[in-house]
Amino acid sequence: MYFIGVDIGGMSVKAGLVDEKGNILLKDTAVTRARASAEEIVADIAALVKKVVEAGGIHLSELGGIGVGSPGSVDDAAGVIRYSCNINFERTPIVALLGDALGVKNVKVSNDANCAALGETMFGAGRGAKNSVTVTLGTGVGTGIVVDGRLLTGNRSAGAEGGHVIIKAGGEKCGCGKRGCFEAYASATALMSRTARAVERHPESLLAQVAKERGIDGKTAFIAAKQGDKTAKRVVNDYIRYVGIGLVGFANVFYPEVFIIGGGISKEGDALILPLKEFVKKNAYGAEFNPPIDVVAATLGNDAGIIGAAALAM
């Protein structure tokens, strides 16, 4: 049986034909007309789905279902995108609209971070696990929680916003306007800010030299740290400690089998993953008696959203 996964982004919409094993057989993209009406955006998505289905040589009636991942606040059960700050969705009944446009009854929708978490758990780095927490370290911090093989999204899907759990009362200001959020310490944005402050305080450091040569991004401190620079090591160690604090908090509430770390920072591999695994092992409540919690880097990359969206309909 085949499924369609749709991953809506601010710049583009991606759609893929996915089999029951989570393999993307083919995919295509369309430009997101973010300021168009919701109905026009849904019409564009329907056209893209038809294009992918036709390219796959099948008929819409042969689909097992369609899953959609969207940024913003999504009411999964109602099939409604409440609001998306970068796309003109407001109380948009996307499941009904897309189902009617395509004549497909099994249409599901969820937040894009939740879809990525489901995809990684079912078919990626967490394959085989029924309980996982996916943490995406990017411009912000996205989280997706899977419990007993199902997404945990809270009351009317308004929960699972782990990036805004407070880890330091009165701490750094977060993009959401509050202070001390996990996102304010664990995002790539936060790492870049800490790197910039360290460069300013230590212009003599190798970190400062690396920053001058290539600019400051999420890799800068890791590059200098791997070359033995003490200033960079402090930045990296502090960053990993803050990420670890967040993971331990999630561990103490959900005790997953695995933490799946995504986003650009996850590409640092063992330099990030191994110390996080050790931090969780040392600090999670009852870790010496309970089953071990693994920490792994996400593996599906940019396809996680398509595969996870398709998994919604499986």
DSSP type of residue 294: E
- How do 73-75 and 80-84 pair as beta strands? antiparallel
pLDDT of 158 above 90: no
Sheet bearing 73-75, strands edge to edge: 73-75, 80-84, 89-92
10 Å CB burial of residue 125 (0-12, 13-18, 19+) is buried
Tell the residue number behind the tokens 């034909």, with chain if given.
17
Residue 23 has a pLDDT of: 97
> Tens digit of pLDDT for each residue in 212-249?
999 999 999 999 999 999 999 999 999 999 999 999 99
pLDDT of 303 above 90: yes
10 Å CB burial of residue 128 (0-12, 13-18, 19+) is exposed
Report residue 92's pLDDT band, with 50, 70 and 90 as the boundaries.
very high
Domains by residue range for the chain, with CATH: 2-120+303-312 (3.30.420.40), 126-298 (3.30.420.40)
The SS3 of residue 4 is strand
- pTM exceeds 0.85: yes
- Once rounded to an integer, what is the mean pLDDT over residues 22-31? 96
Q: Which amino acid is at 47?
A: A
Mean pLDDT of the chain: 95
